[in-house]
Amino acid sequence: MAESDLQTRTLLLQQALQQLETARVEANRQVRYISQGVSPVAPDEATYPRAFENTVLAFLIFSGIYLMISLTAAVLRDQISS
């Protein structure tokens, strides 16, 4: 009984080692596709973050929200007073 269990475990170990070796070969094959062909070139000036553009955009969005809320409040005030 113990010998058959040992043989089963040995067979499982051999299969696991074979799968490990297959995975290593496949990983080495994929490394060729993942590796960089050309090194990236750093830009002369930073493109992000765009502090000024983001500030202007936030100002426009919040002023639009404020305008919509104030118009809604004015219309409601006019409807209530009528």
pLDDT at residue 15, rounded to an integer: 97
Q: Roughly how many angstroms between the first and final C-alpha of the chain, as a whole number?
A: 97
Mean pLDDT, 10 residues at a time, over the chain (82 residues)? 92 96 90 74 83 95 98 95 81
Q: What are the sequence ranges of the domains in the chain? A: 1-35, 52-82
pLDDT at residue 23, rounded to an integer: 95
pLDDT at residue 57, rounded to an integer: 97
- pTM, full prediction: 0.45
pLDDT at residue 36, rounded to an integer: 67
Name 26's Cβ contacts closer than 8 Å, sequence gap at least 6. none
